[in-house]
Amino acid sequence: MNWSALRPIDAHTHLHPPRLFAAIRRWFDDNTHWKLREPTEPEAVAAFLEAQGVERFVFFSYAHKGGMARDLNHWLWETGRRLPMSIPLGTVHPDDPDILDILDEALVRFEFRGIKLHVQVQRFFPDDPRMWPVYERLAELSRVLVIHTGNAPHVNDFVGIGRFEKVLERVPTLRAQVCHMGANETDRCFALMERFPGLHLDTTMAMTRASIPYTLIDPAVVTNDQLLQWQDRVIYGSDYPNLPYPYEEERRDLLERRLPESALRKLFRENAVRLYGIR
């Protein structure tokens, strides 16, 4: 099916303030063989995605230490106001003593549709007791948690789906988008989806052979039968502009699977529309 006819929504992209983005790029240069050379300026990122046929995109950043989430959320809000295609999400950090005030500013004043957490970078366990009020507030307001908690492409002590399962057990109504298909624990995530109707997976860097040299995530471990079974709960994302290969590769293998048109429309657009309340 023609890509642009799907009116795709990219539900996993990154925008960061310039100094933070520069630091992230330095980390990749110093610690990986990834060559990240796509533009990082917000207007350039939005223009590129529009040229690729993307209709809307969800973007986020994350506070890698306490004390920076409030200013970062303000930057995300101001940036989102300049980019009509965009849907910004906020962030928090458990080291913030005023974490609920920061969260409510993000969700109520800024009207963010959710927050992003990256436990590997932020260095806390998903079931850290300081985060319970955050998850409960997200569920109360029916907002989305986007969380990088799988053990790929990089591993440290904080990642792993098991600790996030405890979050879902405590807050079963939480609406969550687990990044990278929860790799390398995708089957475990599918099993959790049986129990928790608010759990979703995004395809970012997990459903393309182009990512294998960088992530070691093999898209072949996910079958077409699984995608069809969970066609209402899998969402397209790209990680742009943090991609070490061409953007079009992120969708190529998914389109070549020859899934029914109805499933493709859900994966590339309709599931994101429903999850984020996009009009």
For 110-127, write each residue's pLDDT tens digit. 999 999 999 999 999 999
Mean pLDDT, residues 229-236: 98
Which residues on neighbouring strands pair with residue 86, listed in sequence order? 57
**C-alpha torsion sign, points 95, 96, 102, 104:** positive
Structural domain boundaries enclosing 205: 8-276
How big is the CA angle at 13 (ends 124 and 147), to the nearest 5 degrees?
A: 25
Neighbours of 228 (CB within 10 A): 14
188 belongs to a structural domain: yes
Query: Average pLDDT for residues 220-227, to the nearest whole number?
Result: 97
Structural domains counted in the chain: 1
pLDDT in tens, 152-171: 877 788 989 999 999 999 99
Do residues 255 and 248 make contact, with C-beta atoms less than 8 angstroms apart? no
Chain mean position to CA 73? 16
> If you average pLDDT over residues 261-278, what whole number do you get?
98
* pLDDT attached to residue 153: 78
H/E stretch holding 273 reads helix 271-276
What's residue 215's pLDDT? 93
Report the pLDDT averaged over residues 55-81: 97
pLDDT at residue number 72: 98
Is residue 112 within 8 Å of 88, Cβ to Cβ? yes
Q: What rounded mean pLDDT belongs to the chain?
A: 96
* Residue 179 structure tokens: 């990044």
pTM of the model: 0.97
Q: What is the CATH number of the domain that holds 165?
A: 3.20.20.140
Return the half-sphere exposure (C-beta side, CA atoms, 13 A cut-off) of residue 148.
Answer: 26
**One-letter identity of residue 179:** C
Q: Does 48 fall in a domain?
A: yes
pLDDT recorded at residue 61: 98
- The pLDDT score that the predictor gives to residue 157 is 87
CA angle, 225 then 273 then 246, to 5°: 70
For residue 233, the one-letter residue type is R
For the chain, percent of residues with pLDDT exceeding 90: 95
In a domain, 2, yes or no: no
Q: State yes or no: pLDDT of 1 exceeds 80.
A: no
The reply to whether 255 falls in a domain is yes
| pLDDT given for residue 43 in this prediction | 98
Q: Which pLDDT value is given to residue 154?
A: 77
Report the interhelical angle of 161-170 vs 186-195 (nearest 10°).
Answer: 10
Whole-number pLDDT of residue 156: 83
Residue 3 domain-assigned (yes or no): no
Question: What span, in angstroms and rounded, lies between the C-alpha atoms of 230 and 236?
Answer: 13
Q: In this model, does residue 103 exceed pLDDT 80?
A: yes
- Please give the sequence-ordered ranges of beta strands (E in DSSP) within the chain, or none if there are none: 9-14, 56-60, 86-88, 114-118, 144-148, 175-178, 199-202, 234-235
Which residue is it, tokens 């809307």? 56
pLDDT, residue 229, reads 98
pLDDT at residue 141 tops 90 = yes
Question: Is the pLDDT assigned to residue 222 strictly greater than 90?
Answer: yes
**pLDDT tens digits along 8-47:** 999 999 999 999 999 999 999 999 999 999 999 999 999 9
Instruction: State both tokens at 169.
Output: 């057990």
**The predicted structure's pLDDT at residue 65:** 95
In this structure, is residue 21 part of a structural domain?
yes
- At residue 101's C-alpha, the angle toward residues 143 and 158, to 5°, is 65
